[in-house]
Amino acid sequence: MPEFLPTAPYRGTRDFLPAEMSVRTQVFGKLYEVIERYGFQRYDGPILEPAEIYEAKSGEEIANQQLYTLTDRGGRRLALRPEMTPSVARMIAGNAGALQFPVRWYSHPNCHRYERPQRGRVREHWQINVDIFGSTSPNTEIEIFELIHDMLSGLGASEDMFVVRANDRNLLSSALTDVVGVTEQQLPEVFALVDRWEKYERDKLAASAEEIGLSGKQFDKLGEVLTAGTALLDELPEHVKESSNLVKVLGSSAADLVRFEPMIVRGLAYYTSTVFEVFDTSPENNRALFGGGAYSDLASMFTSQQIPGFGFGMGDVTLMDFLGTHDLLPKPKAEVDVVVIPVTEDLGDAARTVATALRRSGVRTSVPLEFRKLGKELTRADKAGARVVVIVGREDWDAGSVTVRSLATRDQRVVTVDSAPSTVAELLAD
């Protein structure tokens, strides 16, 4: 017996058969439309980058545990991109002299991380990245928050299905040092603890706090700070609040777009002030869907020019989980709209002539590749989801006509070949 290679994809990656690909194409197409209505332009970049750009900016977890690396024949150490932000920072820095800032860019790359596959996490995912570069105005953040709401609304989500939870790392740093009494040296470890706050039991959090060097009183105060909401702002110094774009957003007409949550910190090392995560509010899928934030100088690896940015990455796995949870996934499109069927094999050229006219009118049309009896082809057309068939018979064709039949209503008409596209369009519109 021959030994065949496995047909399953590599663990943590996925095959997308046509029906699922149809759903994904519809979802992403709607998102592209909304994004481009805001004036964003699409870009792309290489899937391979020097490994050091991720080790410098993507955070310890990605750099040390999740990076797929390789060494090429020239001895260069490369990595499959785990995210797009360092790549776009390189691109922005390399072309800064030719760009008119601020710029609005978006992309939809596939990314790779060596993670344990589970619900919401795989090893290869597709992520829509949306960023504004070159502005520190609070209007930048307002626009991104507006865009997020419009993107999810464009997929059919109502405002009660999700919430944008936002924080400012500088506000949290002030709260930790001025209110909780955390030292500057303890801040990185406490930030990591805050990032785990909703994921672990209180006893485990308390043990971690003790290892960091926090007292029981400080741990209790930390819990109060993280759940204080906007009341926390009253305890912070004015100069800290005045420098926060998020505070300005909360004081504007856009305040209802976000909810201030002191425990949102995000793990990536390049965020410097505002950070946010979009959460599903359904009890069946109560988790973060995607997130982003502000970075004051991400391009510093590539240029001395300071280029701030604000944006987010929306992964396909959690997005599809969200749409499935709320019954918002579109139905797969049919294979074709119309099938042109020759009654006899010698009418194959005639059928292709009719199909060409239909395709040029914008109708998705197929012709059987192998000749079969009319009844079998009608059955195949119905299973393929076709709504109309055009039957090319000898007598009709010799008379300059074809038979157009609706598979939904069984309405059938004999029409001239030239009028077939308009007749088909009429039946498809019913």
- Is the pTM for the entire model greater than 0.85? yes
**Token code pair at residue 156:** 């059919």
Q: Is 83 annotated as a binding residue?
A: yes
- Distance, in Å, from the CA atom of 332 to the CA atom of 24, rounded to the nearest integer, reads 9
Q: What pLDDT score does 267 carry? A: 73
Please report which confidence band the pLDDT of residue 117 belongs to, taking 50, 70 and 90 as the band edges.
confident
How many CA atoms are closer than 13 Å to the CA of 406, on its beta-carbon side?
13
Q: Has 263 been labeled as part of a binding site?
A: no
- Taking the C-alpha atoms of residue 87 and residue 14, their distance in angstroms, rounded to an integer, is 24
Task: Specify the pLDDT at position 119.
Answer: 77
Q: Where are the strands (E) in 62-176, listed by range?
A: 69-71, 77-80, 103-107, 110-112, 124-133, 162-168
Alpha carbon of residue 44 to chain centroid: 14
Mean pLDDT, all residues of the chain: 94
Task: Give the phi and the psi of residue 254 in degrees, each rounded to 5.
Answer: -95, 10
The answer to whether 127 is a known ligand-binding residue is: yes
| Whole-number pLDDT of residue 387 | 97
To the question of whether residue 266 is assigned a binding role by annotation, the answer is yes
Per-residue pLDDT tens over the stretch 80-114: 999 998 899 999 999 999 999 999 999 999 999 99
pLDDT at 63: 73
User: What was the pLDDT predicted at 121?
Assistant: 80
**Predicted local distance difference test score (pLDDT) of residue 199:** 87
Q: In which residue are the tokens 């410097």 written? A: 272
Mean pLDDT check: name the lowest of 47-61, 242-256, 366-380.
47-61
Q: Is 271 annotated as a binding residue?
A: yes
116-130, 166-180, 308-322, 383-397: range with lowest mean pLDDT:
116-130
Measured CA distances, 111 to 60, 279, 315, 337 (Å)? 17, 22, 9, 34
Please determine, for residue 298, whether its predicted confidence score (pLDDT) is greater than 80. Answer: no
* 300, pLDDT greater than 90: no
Once rounded to an integer, what is the mean pLDDT over residues 177-194? 93
Query: Is 85 known to sit in a ligand binding site?
Result: yes
Cis check: omega of the bond before 102, within 30 degrees of 0: yes
Whether the predicted pLDDT of 57 surpasses 80: no
> Which has more confidence, 55 or 232?
232
pLDDT digits (tens, 9 = 90+) for 190-216: 999 999 998 889 999 999 999 999 999
What DSSP element (H or E) covers 3? Answer: none
| Cα separation values, 343 from 92, 349, 400, 408, 416, Å | 59, 12, 15, 21, 17
Average pLDDT of span 107-133: 92
Encode pLDDT of 362-407 as tens digits: 999 999 999 999 999 999 999 999 999 999 999 999 999 999 999 9
**pLDDT the model gives residue 59:** 63
* Residue 297 assigned to a binding site: no
Which pLDDT does position 58 carry in this prediction? 60
The yes-or-no verdict on residue 422 having pLDDT over 70 is yes
pLDDT at 268 over 70: no
Domains and CATH numbers, the chain: 18-325 (3.30.930.10), 338-429 (3.40.50.800)
Residue 270 known to bind ligand: yes
Q: What is the 3-state secondary structure (H, E, C) of 353-395?
A: HHHHHHHHCCCCEECCCCCCCHHHHHHHHHHCCCCEEEEECHH
